[in-house]
């Protein structure tokens, strides 16, 4: 498997691990019988974690498809790997600033991540 393919798995892990720690840390406040209870996500930090988690789910399909398309088109693998790693790094930064509540920075990082993803998608055109 390539680094870019492992990054697809990494993107899944980033969005899963964005929300996962908040559930056991909440103790009895988290009801596993009702895991989507909106009341659990009312505190601001949990609400931001849920937002970052959902955004990760939203961005995943385009990233996965872009990586697969680039590989099917036999683009230069080192460039693809570098861009895929860059996307994962930006997603990690995105989650961090989302949790901190830095709205403008979050938007800027999201836009950078989208630009990297777009570069991956368009690699067959420019390489």
Nearest to 62 by CA among 127, 22, 6, 115: 115
pLDDT at 84: 98
Are residues 68 and 94 in contact, defined by beta-carbon separation less than 8 angstroms?
A: no
pTM: 0.96
pLDDT at 50: 97
Q: Which tens digit of pLDDT belongs to each residue from 21-39?
A: 999 999 889 999 999 999 9
Mean pLDDT value of segment 2-20: 98
pLDDT at 127: 87
Give the other-Cβ count within 10 Å of 20's Cβ: 13
Q: Which tens digit of pLDDT belongs to each residue from 65-118?
A: 999 999 999 999 999 999 999 999 999 999 999 999 999 999 999 999 999 999
3-126 under CATH 1.20.120.550, yes or no: yes
Are residues 64 and 71 in contact, defined by beta-carbon separation less than 8 angstroms?
A: no
């Amino acid at each position: 498997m390539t680094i870019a393919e492992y990054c697809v798995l990494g993107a899944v892990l980033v969005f899963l691990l964005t929300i996962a720690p908040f559930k056991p840390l909440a103790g009895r406040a988290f009801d596993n019988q009702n895991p989507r209870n909106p009341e659990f996500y009312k505190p601001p930090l949990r609400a931001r974690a849920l937002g970052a988690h959902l955004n990760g789910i939203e961005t995943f399909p385009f990233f996965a498809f872009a990586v697969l398309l680039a590989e099917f088109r036999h683009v230069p693998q080192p460039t693809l790997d570098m861009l895929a790693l860059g996307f994962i790094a930006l997603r990690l930064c995105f989650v961090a600033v989302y949790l901190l509540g830095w709205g403008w920075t979050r938007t800027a990082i999201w836009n950078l991540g989208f630009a990297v993803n777009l570069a991956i998608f368009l690699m067959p055109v420019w390489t």
